[in-house]
Structures are given as C-alpha cells and as structure tokens.
C-alpha cells in the first residue's frame, strides 16, 4: 500500500514535456479539443454557481481522457463525464486550495469599499483640480493592481504546489487531503521542473490570449497533455509482470511515457516568447503615448484655468465713453486735430472684427472702445483700444485700422479727426 506513494525526483523537463504532449496528441488532437470545449462549456456554466462545483470533476474527466490517450485507448465525451465519479474528493480538494484566495478577495472588496468612501468625499468639491483627482485615481488603480497581483501570485503558488492533486485522485484513488499532501511532496522533489512547466504553460496561455483569445483554446490541449506527461514521469504506472518460472510471484514494473525526438516544445516556447514580447512592446508604447497625452492634457487644462483666473474680470481704463458723433470742434489748433466723439455712424466701411479663439475659450464678451485718428482723406492712421476685455482688444484695433470714413470738413477744408469706434462682441 505504501508503494503507491512512491514518486520520482527530478523527472520533469518542461520543454520535453511539451514535445511529448504534442506527440501524444497526434491523430487525436481534434477529438481531445472537442472534449475540452465540452468541458470548458460545463465549467463556464458551473462558474455561475458559488464555489464552481463543476470545475473539479471536469478536470478529473479531462485527465481520464489523457490517461486513456496515453495508452492508446479510445475516449470520448462519456469518458469526460466519468470525472463525476470523483466529485466528492475533487470538490473537497478544490475548497481547501481556494480558501486563501477567497479570503484575499474579501479583503480586496473591503478595500474597494473604503476607497469608494474616499471618492464620495471628493465629489463634495465642485470642479476639483486635476492635481487633486489624479493622486486618488492612481491610488485606486495601484491598490487594485496590487491586490490583483497578490491574488494571482497566491493562486500561482497554490496551483503549482497542487499541480498533481486531480490526477492523483483519478489515478491513485486518493482522498483530497492525501492527494494534496502527496502533491506538495512530489512538487517540492521536482520543484524546478514543475515551476518551469508552469511558466511555459502561462506563457502559452498569455500568447494565446494575445491572439484574440482564440489561440488560448488551441494551445490548451498541448498544455493539458504536457502536464499529464509530467505527472506520469513523476508517478510511473505500476505494471505487474509474471516471471518465466512457474509458481514464482509476479514482479512489479514501472512505465513512463517514451521520450520523443520532437522539437515541438521548443518551437511552441519560442513562438510564445515572440508573441508575448511583441505584445509587451506594443502595450509599453501605448502606455507611454497615453501617459504623454494625459500629462499634456493636464498642462493645457492648468494653463486654461490660470487664464480664466487672470481674465475672469475684464480690465478697463478710466476712459469715459464719448458721446455720439457731433459736429467737429477744434481741440488743439497747433496740431490741426478735432474731437468728434463716436465715429461708427460716419464710417463708409466698418469691418467686423473676428472673434478670437482664445476669447471664445473663456467666453469673453462686451464692448471694446478703440480711439482712432482719421486723416484728411478719411483713412485711419492710428488705433488704440482704451477699454474692453484684454482678449478682444487686438481684434478690435485690427478692424478699426481697416475702417474708412468720409473726409471731415471744417470751414470747408478737410481736417484730421480724433474719435472712437465701439465694437460689441457677443458670444457665438
């Protein structure tokens, strides 16, 4: 009875297991893929039930199919459903393994609740600044990423140490606790080989997921086959062999899968590395450009916020708005100029000033008064905005310089006139 607990040490070579698994699948890949799809669909349905009770018996059924394939025996979906014969022990083993992950998930949910409370307090402020929001946002994302990585790490450690639990329950008919303890011992005796095969399995899965998730389905048969090969290398099949002498007791022989010369494992590993490497470079590039875009957007928002603070109240000068156009009166005889008030009504051509884009951004509106000097021919020779929003003045001055007036006569002679043009800017 003790013999069934014997196992080999240092028996696993990860890439060779992939190659041997590939060889074992030859001629039966399609059948096994169909069985896996049925099993995955049942597992997916069972995931809707708390504790996923359909997962353990389906894994046991998959190993039954693999052991049958290993010995060139027929298998089909009915072989898969024979895994329910081991429902009790496999489900108990699953519970024992998932308890730590379940506890960590509860801690993560509690942490999310606390972070939600922090976010709610932030909402009390109206229009929070980006520099106030981003640290909290990154804190939430950091917490989620940290907890997720912790759960993944614990799941990988437990998954590695219990890698042989389900095949032990199926092959050696062990109970849940005995299978877990024996799996722990066997994994530690083949630690580097098991860890290497686990890394290769995850690498193939990640590469398959990067191929639009469909690739993961097609590499799954190879991964399961590789683990079945690894299990049989650690736990050889016990075979009774009768000796040639009559009456002599039978001898016990062991059988392990033959080592193939296939390079499929190496090809799969290199292909997965190339796909994952390309994906990492792509995601890093996307992340860099996203970070660059976010920082630039924050800088632009900060500049616009400062502009709003500076120009929130239009600046003005103590310039008294002139009265409407009046008959010119001498103002400074030595300069020959006259004062004429508002000149809007005297213009023969008064261009409309364009609404500046920056003024639209801060919704600057109102009247802009431009003091102009008109020569004897009715041309504007100088224009200077004396009141109005600072963001609107340049546009008003430019339009005023293009204005045209009828010559102003004083005692029958054309003279220079100093007056103002008033432009009203309305938000579009």
Phi, psi dihedral angles at 326 (to 5 degrees): -125, 170
Domain count, the chain: 2
Check which CATH number belongs to the domain holding 374 and give it: 3.30.2420.10
**Rg of the chain, C-alpha, whole Å:** 42
Query: Is the same domain home to 207 and 354?
Result: no
Query: Is the same domain home to 237 and 375?
Result: no
Query: Is the same domain home to 95 and 223?
Result: yes
Query: Is the same domain home to 178 and 75?
Result: yes
- Tell me: the pLDDT tens digits for 287-314? 899 888 888 888 888 777 766 655 444 4
Domain-located, residue 157: yes
CB 403 within 8 A of CB 326: no
Q: Is the dihedral of CA 169, 172, 174, 177 positive or negative?
A: negative
Distance of CA 66 to the CA centre of its chain: 37
DSSP 124: T
- Of the candidates 4, 1, 2, 61, the residue with the CA atom closest to the CA atom of residue 238: 4
Give the length of the chain: 428
Domain-located, residue 343: yes
In this prediction, residue 251 has a pLDDT band, given cuts at 50, 70 and 90, of low
Query: Is the same domain home to 289 and 418?
Result: no
Query: Is the same domain home to 269 and 335?
Result: no
Tell me the C-alpha distance between 45 and 341, whole Å.
86
Query: Is the same domain home to 384 and 277?
Result: no
Query: Is the same domain home to 283 and 192?
Result: yes
Residues contacting residue 238 through CB under 8 Å, at least 6 positions apart: 3, 4, 252, 253, 254
Q: Is the pLDDT of residue 80 over 90?
A: yes
Domain-located, residue 335: yes
Distance of CA 128 to the CA centre of its chain: 25
Domain-located, residue 124: yes
Domain span holding position 415:
329-425
Residue 252: count other Cβ atoms within 10 Å of its Cβ: 10
Q: Is the dihedral of CA 119, 122, 124, 127 positive or negative?
A: negative
CB 208 within 8 A of CB 219: yes
Domain-located, residue 361: yes
Domain-located, residue 311: no
Q: Which two tokens stand for residue 32?
A: 């096994």
- Tell me: the pLDDT tens digits for 5-62? 789 999 999 999 999 999 999 999 999 999 999 999 999 999 899 888 999 999 999 9
Query: Is the same domain home to 277 and 338?
Result: no
Tell me the C-alpha distance between 229 and 23, whole Å.
11
- CA distances (Å), origin 20, targets 16, 167, 182, 226: 6, 18, 24, 7
Query: Is the same domain home to 334 and 270?
Result: no
Out of 89-98, 104-113, 152-161, 201-210, pick the least confident: 104-113
pLDDT of residue 314: 44
Q: Is the pLDDT of residue 108 over 90?
A: no
Query: Is the same domain home to 351 and 259?
Result: no
Tell me the C-alpha distance between 158 and 350, whole Å.
82
Query: Is the same domain home to 81 and 133?
Result: yes
Domain-located, residue 312: no
Measured torsion, CA atoms of residues 371, 375, 377, 381, in degrees rounded to the nearest 10 = -60
Measured torsion, CA atoms of residues 137, 143, 144, 150, in degrees rounded to the nearest 10 = 160
Q: Which two tokens stand for residue 392?
A: 């609107």
Which spans in 311-354 are helix H? none
Domain-located, residue 289: yes
pLDDT of residue 175: 95
- CA distances (Å), origin 314, targets 34, 388, 397: 74, 7, 17
DSSP 379: B
Tell me the C-alpha distance between 19 and 22, whole Å.
5
């Amino acid at each position: 009875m003790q013999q069934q607990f014997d196992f080999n040490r240092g028996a696993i070579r990860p890439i060779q297991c992939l190659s041997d698994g590939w060889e074992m699948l030859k001629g039966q890949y399609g059948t096994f893929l169909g069985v896996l799809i049925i099993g995955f669909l049942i597992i997916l349905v069972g995931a809707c039930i708390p504790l996923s009770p359909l997962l353990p018996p389906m894994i046991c059924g998959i190993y039954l199919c693999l052991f049958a394939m290993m010995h060139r025996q027929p298998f089909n979906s009915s072989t898969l459903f024979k895994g329910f014969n081991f429902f009790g022990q496999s489900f108990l083993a699953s519970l024992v393994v998932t308890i730590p992950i379940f506890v960590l998930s509860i801690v993560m949910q509690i942490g999310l609740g606390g972070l939600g409370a922090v976010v709610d307090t932030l909402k009390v402020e109206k229009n929070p600044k980006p520099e106030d929001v981003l640290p909290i946002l990154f804190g939430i994302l950091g917490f989620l990423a940290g907890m997720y990585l912790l759960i993944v790490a614990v799941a990988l450690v437990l998954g590695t140490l219990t890698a042989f639990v389900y095949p032990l329950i199926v092959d050696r008919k062990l109970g849940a606790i005995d299978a877990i303890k024996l799996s722990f011992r066997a994994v530690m005796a083949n630690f580097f080989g098991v860890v290497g095969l686990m890394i290769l399995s995850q690498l193939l899965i990640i590469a398959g997921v990067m191929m639009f998730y469909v690739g993961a389905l097609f590499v799954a048969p190879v991964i399961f086959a590789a683990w079945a090969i690894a299990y049989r290398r650690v736990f050889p099949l016990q075979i009774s062999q009768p000796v040639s002498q009559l009456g002599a007791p039978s001898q016990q022989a062991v059988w392990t899968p033959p080592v193939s010369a296939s390079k499929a494992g190496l090809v799969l590993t290199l292909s997965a590395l190339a796909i994952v490497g390309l994906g990492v470079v792509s995601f890093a590039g996307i992340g860099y450009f996203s970070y660059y875009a976010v920082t630039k957007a924050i800088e632009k928002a900060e500049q616009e916020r400062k502009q709003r603070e500076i120009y929130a109240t239009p600046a003005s000068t103590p310039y008294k708005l002139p009265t409407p156009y009046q008959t010119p009166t001498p103002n400074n005889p030595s300069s020959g100029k006259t004062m004429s008030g508002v000149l809007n009504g005297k213009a023969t051509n008064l261009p409309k000033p364009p609404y500046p884009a920056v003024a639209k951004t801060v919704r600057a509106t109102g009247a802009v008064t431009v003091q102009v000097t008109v020569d004897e021919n009715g041309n504007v020779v100088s224009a200077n905005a004396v009141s109005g929003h600072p963001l609107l003045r340049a546009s008003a001055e430019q339009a005023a310089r293009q204005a045209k007036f009828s010559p102003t006569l004083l005692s029958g002679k054309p003279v220079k006139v100093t007056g103002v043009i008033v432009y009203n800017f309305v938000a579009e």
